[in-house]
Structure 1
Amino acid sequence: MFERDYLIRLLAQAGLVLGKAMGLKEQRKQQEALDVLDEFLGRELRLRSRLAIGLSDEDLLSMLSVTGSPNAESVAIVAAFLQREADLFADLGREEDSVPRYEKALRLHLYALRNGMEVEGWNTRGSIDELLTALSAYEMDALTKKAIWPWHESEGRFADAENVLYELGEDEAVGAEEGDAFYARLSELDDTALEEGGLSREEMEEGRKQWSALMKENELA
């Protein structure tokens, strides 16, 4: 009961801090807002923003773990804070600071969804949509693309998933067998499901041929 009460209080306080930071943002006090967010992370989670960005996703999740498993509330808070920090840095024209935060926040949100760690009252899916929009103007790194690819597929956005797969293939960040498995999964769907996901069966088969050709090109390069 004590732990649950603590987590409820932590979420409530985090929400208040996010609100305060957004109020400062509207007043064009971006640096003050950044200080408010970072101070809360340091006090409540013993985690500074710069450290969160510097750690690998695995090491960050390990820091947010209790008895071996990442704490859903802590993951939600860190993802939300990084996203708002990214907005603030974007306001300041500091893309070198905003983009990595957008990407890290997106991967954390996607991790939470994949592992059934959504926190009640925190709009994880809405945050993911916001982050994808914010990142649409940038070239995302392969780690982020690898997180987005299965997300698109699981949401039935097969054309989007295929586009990300090709980007990963061009980056040589996935192997032939991963793409082959993707097309095998698509081939088992009926035509209606494929079309709702943005692909006709003919487009899917043509995509499979192009994927095979790309993999052969990579082997010869």
Structure 2
Amino acid sequence: MFERDYLIRLLTQAGLVLGKAMRLREQQKQQEALDLVDEFLGRELRLRSRLAVGLSDEDLLAMLSVTGSPNAESVAVVAAFLQQEADLLDDLGQPEESVPRYAKALRLNLYLIRHGMEFEGWDVRSRVDELLKALERYELDPETKKALWLWHEFEGRWAEAEDALYELADEDAVTRTEGEAFYDRLSASEDTALEAGGLSREELEEGRKQWATLMKENVS
């Protein structure tokens, strides 16, 4: 009961602070809004935004875990505040600071979706759309591209997932085994599901052959 009450309070307070930060942004008080965001994270989650950005996703999720599993509400709040910070820093013309925050927020939200951790009253998918739009102007880092690859697969967008796989391969950001496992997972799907996701069974098998050939070329 105590944990549930805490999480309800966390979400309520987060909503109020985000609203205040947005109003400050409208008043062109970006630095005041940034201070407000950082102070909230430090007080409520014992986490500063610079630390959140600097940690690996795995370490950050571990910090937000209870009994070994990341807490969905805490992850969602951190993602929302990183997104808010990114918006403010973008206003100030600091893409070197805003882009990593947008990317981290996107990966955290995609993690929630892929692990079935969405919850009522917090529209994670709308936030993903906002973050993708904010990042359109920039080249994404391999870690974020990989998160998008896994998300496309999770959502059943097989053709988009396959395209993302080859983009990762171009950057040496995915292993041969990961690609083979991807095709194995898709092969287990029904033909109707594959076609709904943009791939026929024939296209899937052709893609598997092309992947094997590409990996051989990369080794030689």
Q: For 1:123 and 1:133, locate their aligned partners in 2 and report how far apart those are by CA, in whole Å.
A: 16
Q: For 1:35 and 1:113, locate their aligned partners in 2 and report how far apart those are by CA, in whole Å.
A: 29
**Correspondence list, 1:102-121, <5 A:** 102-121=102-121
User: Residue 137 of structure 2 aligns to a residue in which SS?
Assistant: coil
Deviates more, 1:45-54 or 1:188-197: 188-197
Q: Is the 8 A contact 2:114 2:154 kept in 1?
A: no
User: Moved runs in structure 1, 4+ residues, more than 4 A?
Assistant: none
- Residues 103-123 of structure 1 show CA distances to partners (whole Å, capped at 9, x for unaligned) of 111121122223332232111
- Residues 119-162 of structure 1 show CA distances to partners (whole Å, capped at 9, x for unaligned) of 32111122122222322332222222222212101111112111
Percent identical among aligned pairs is: 74
**Correspondence list, 1:112-191, <5 A:** 112-191=112-191
Deviates more, 1:208-217 or 1:156-165: 208-217
**Correspondence list, 1:64-75, <5 A:** 64-75=64-75
Q: Give 5+ residue unaligned stretches, structure 1.
A: none
Residue in 2 aligned with 1:32? Answer: 32
The letter of the residue matching 1:11 is L
The letter of the residue matching 1:65 is S
* TM superposition shift of 1:37: 0.9
TM-score w.r.t. the length of structure 1 is: 0.90
Residue in 2 aligned with 1:199? Answer: 199
Q: For 2:110 and 2:140, locate their aligned partners in 1 and report how far apart those are by CA, in whole Å.
A: 15
Residue in 2 aligned with 1:57? Answer: 57
Deviates more, 1:50-59 or 1:140-149: 140-149
Q: For 1:42 and 1:23, locate their aligned partners in 2 and report how far apart those are by CA, in whole Å.
A: 21
TM-score w.r.t. the length of structure 2 is: 0.90
Q: CA RMSD in A?
A: 1.9
Number of matched pairs: 220
Q: For 1:59 and 1:188, locate their aligned partners in 2 and report how far apart those are by CA, in whole Å.
A: 33
Q: Is the 8 A contact 1:183 1:208 kept in 2?
A: yes
Q: Does 1:11 align with 2:11?
A: yes
Relative to 1, partners in 2 of residues 1:214 and 1:139: Cα closer, same or farther, differing over 3 Å?
A: farther
Deviates more, 1:192-201 or 1:70-79: 192-201
Q: Is the 8 A contact 2:21 2:33 kept in 1?
A: yes
* TM superposition shift of 1:16: 0.6
